[in-house]
A and B are shown apart, each in its own frame.
Chain A
Amino acid sequence: MAAAAAASGGVPGARVDWRLAAPLGLTYLAFFAAPFAILLGISFYADAEQTRLGLDSWTKFYGDAFYRKVIFDTLKLGVFAVLATTLLAYPLALVFRASGPRVQRLLIFIILMPLLTSVVIRTFAWIVILAREGVLNQTLMGLGLTATPLNLLQTELGLVIALTQIEMPLMLLPLLTIMNQMDQNLVDASRALGASKWRTFFRVILPLTLPGWIAGATLVFASATTAFISQSVIGGARLVYLPSLIWQQSMVVYNWPFAAVASLTLLFTVLAGIMALGWLGRFARTS
């Protein structure tokens, strides 16, 4: 009964039906909010044995240049992933928009396929491709572009290439949605008034599709900075990001307070990225 009431209530001033929202809300309180509260609490232990309270874990983490570099590298990786997915997703979205329904369905399929393939498998694929005897090196050497195989595994470049594929559907789906809603008349008008294609793109298409890009960039940034499997398998032991640091501190060294600090730092890093993107969106709308 209540269900039907909520669903039919298109009336202004309709109220949240708490009886229906409560089950999920309480589940989130018990299994989502409470764990984060515990995580925050544990971060205030000063020692790995959790006997002494204090800010030592926090001061040690933020006082050490190594850990500050890990935070910076994690942020940088997220930004690179957003830039790389943007560079390829915008052209793909433009081609999608210009295509007929059959090609569009095929493109959607191509875009969804990797999204529905396990992240572990996508990472595995990139090992086969990026290895010294891998597909990419064979192709480059076959074309005579390079004489010796390039080292791509265990490099930031290799990781960004892999993340570009792994995260691209997250950028593309919101971008395609908003491209489809964009008014073609505005594009035609810009062209008819003599604007070049470049100018039309930067002055008409880009601003109109910015909300879609922001939604996509948020997901890509959040996902790339926390992509533990890809970071650890492709990045290897040489490249350290926050997720692998969290894993190592919690499950190898068993320093839970320190792992909690690293974990909260990852949370703040992602939130900072999301807020920066949101701010960019507001800024873009007002200017």
Chain B
Amino acid sequence: MQRSTPGDVAYTWIIGLLAGLGILILIGPVLVVIATSFTTSQTLKFPPPGLSLRWYGELFNPARSAQIHTAALNSLWVAGLATAIGGVLAVLAALAISRVARPSARVLEASFLSPLVLPTLSYGLAALMFFSVLGIRPSLNLLIAGHLVVIAPFVFRTTLASLSQLDPALLEASANLGASRLYGFRRITLPLIAPGIAAGCFLAFISSMDNVPVSLFLSTARTAMLPIRMWGMMETTLDVRIAAIAGVLILATLILMIVMDRLTGLTRRMSG
């Protein structure tokens, strides 16, 4: 290594400062919201004048927050079913094209991943028009169909990645030892790709819970979804209960994330 020049010192400082700013900007808002959720005040003052569980009490009070509870249950139901159905379809599709080098497989792969980059807001409006042309009235089932399409790519991608790391020799060995293909799949392939499937399902579930573009067009007052309800609260009143919802969601996500990390090495998987 050579001696540090002033330029090198400046490089180290600038990179360090920008990285620090990056970390601050990433976690700052999350911390601010959590702190705000414990405020005693009527408004979104930061720092809070005093700490209390007042807004969590409001949030969990069935009489005061019934609409929020309905929206949260709707969101959980839709996210659960969309992840389950979309997950199965995506795993099957990943099995179908893994290790196939043909152009047809690449085309399928790109199509199945396309909701990740195509604007889902355009898709939300398209889905609304489609169902209204068909004369189908809005319901939670429509929301499940819409969410399923935009969250299946998460499972598809992680399953495909797991399959690409699977050693084919393992299955050949099991076949040579007389195992049927189904048996080999059940006892060898599935256990080895299960962490990938689980990580994908976790991401799919979270992104369905958080989906705005599709829910915006397909949900109605009767089938309200949590993010849309929160958007409405934010547009009109800037209700402090939003911060309390944030607190609950962040805690739930954190717990889920730690569990998933233990089970599947989620953080390793996501960093490649």
Residues of A whose CB lies within 8 Å of any CB of B are 1-12, 14-21, 23-25, 27-28, 31-32, 34-36, 38-39, 42, 87-92, 94-95, 104-105, 107-114, 116-129, 131, 133-135, 138, 161, 164-165, 168-169, 173, 176-178, 180-181, 191-192, 194, 196-198, 201, 218-219, 222, 225-226, 228-229, 232-233, 243, 246-247, 250-251, 256, 259-260, 263-264, 266-267, 270-271, 274
Contacts and interface: CB of A to CB of B under 8 A. Distances in A.
A11 B120 CA distance: 37
B126 A36 contact: yes
Given A24-B152, A116-B253, A129-B29, A4 B118 contact: no
B27 to A, nearest CB: 6
A94 B19 contact: yes
B73 interface: no
Interface of B: 1-2, 5, 7-8, 11-12, 14-19, 21-23, 25-30, 32-33, 36, 44-46, 88-90, 92-93, 95-102, 104-105, 108, 111-112, 115-123, 125-130, 133, 145-146, 148-149, 152, 156, 163, 166, 168, 171-172, 175, 180-182, 184-185, 189, 206, 209-210, 212-213, 216-217, 227, 230-231, 234-235, 238, 242-243, 245-246, 249-250, 253-254, 257, 266-267, 270-272
Contact of A124 (B16, B129, B166, B246): B246
Contacts of B29: 114, 122, 125-126, 129, 165
A247 B216 contact: yes
B149 to A, nearest CB: 5
Contact of A108 (B97, B101, B122, B270): B270
A286 B90 CA distance: 35
A165 B212 contact: no
A255 to B, nearest CB: 12
Contacts of B171: 4, 7-8
A168 B149 contact: no
A86 to B, nearest CB: 11
Given A91-B19, A218-B117, A267-B118, 8 more contacts: A4-B181, A23-B92, A88-B19, A88-B22, A117-B30, A118-B249, A120-B234, A191-B1
Nearest to B107: A16
A116 B1 contact: no
Contacts of A38: 126, 129-130, 133
A27 B148 CA distance: 9
B129 A28 contact: no
Contact of A1 (B182, B217, B257): B182
Contacts of A181: 272
Contact of B271 (A6, A19, A180, A259): A180
A90 B116 CA distance: 23
Contacts of B127: 31, 35
Contacts of A12: 101
B125 A260 contact: yes
A141 B111 CA distance: 51
B116 A219 contact: yes
B129 A42 contact: yes
Contacts of A247: 216
A232 B267 CA distance: 32
Contact of A173 (B44, B249, B271): B271
Q: Which of B33, B88, B133 has the largest number of chain A CB atoms within 10 A?
A: B33
